[in-house]
Structure 1
């Protein structure tokens, strides 16, 4: 059987199997390495030994990035987030080299490296929440759907305020009489870039 036909008819099952078998663990390992890398770089500012460890972890992440570049080729550079990933590893490694060699790095370099690491962390949270909270079905903010999928709780039309009519017998109508029209802020996790803004707003209060 042609492998393309196999993916055509069983693509979802294959993706689910790969994710549960090793994909989730792979991403959790990368997540764990990055959290350790971020904590070491952000907290330790005077220990040469710790910065050596930060360099090692930075090179580990750069190795993961190199694997993605080899696998995806030119397509890897079409996503702006990949540039953030590279910068979030390269600049902290350069800063760590300064400290290891006994040279105080420029304040601008320290600040920029810390900013990139924090932005990387925000993007990780944003991507996780984007996957979890994005709508399942397509929708339009201008035209309410004739039949809303109740199971799609992340659809903006399911998140807005609804007003129901109280019938003469005291019961409440099953269908809403008035539905507030959603806007782009109703569910900010409909795309990845607004998800970053939503996470930033959440963290900053």
Structure 2
């Protein structure tokens, strides 16, 4: 659990890096060593921030450190999502804009449009008074590794980070009219990450700061600092000093707020009267609170019985609702039976009508035959 604490990890980095830098400096004894200069810069950075961390114990500064850690924990997963999206766009630009063949920064060797030599600024000469320009460049600026930052996946990732920060110079060497795919990726990145996700991140930060109790976070942080001091920085005889570690601790509290909180505890049955009986009796006298443990037990029993009765009433109400539904279903079933009977009667009448129609047709046929015989 010790390694899960952000401040402990920061302390390890600061101490290990500064120690390693000091040993490396003693071994090389060269102030102009480029590697030593880089180590010194990072060591001083971490040590300066480490000095600032000593102010965590003071409330005026510690609240802000508590906000930084608590808010950072809440948005950590969202930061990972943004980082993965940035890597995805960096990979896409790397595939699209990296040179398609081998190249050298010392001399031009191909006509690849992504070759740094073809992206470097070139200067042409005016050949006559009419303003005609020579097609062959008069002078070309020597390119470097930053001319096309997409020749390597690492610089590609850094270029996309710069674009997120507002610097789009890494993408300005290409013509957007001739490369519509670049323009499409730029629009997608700006809408998705720069506009949407960044504003969403700001909203999440505001919500996290409002939801978190900053003073409580600071007090927890201060308690951790005091516990660390007591465990690792005090001698055994210092831990036994009663002036530093008294058996009973007194603190000032608001009378009205204390009355309200104690009454809430008594009402909820959370007040423990088995320990420090004399102390809480004196406290009740000072706060003018009437409290009888036996009465409290009776009240709790009544509350429990009332809760049981309420549960039974709820069950009865649910049963009544079910009975009402059953009555409605029975009424509907009765209506359905009546409808079925009426349908059966209608069907019987229809059958009789069909038999009458058949007999009527037979009579008509016989009459037609008789009329034919009489005519003959």
TM class, shorter-length:
0.3 to 0.5
TM-score normalised by length of structure 1: 0.42
TM-score normalised by length of structure 2: 0.24
More helix by share: 2
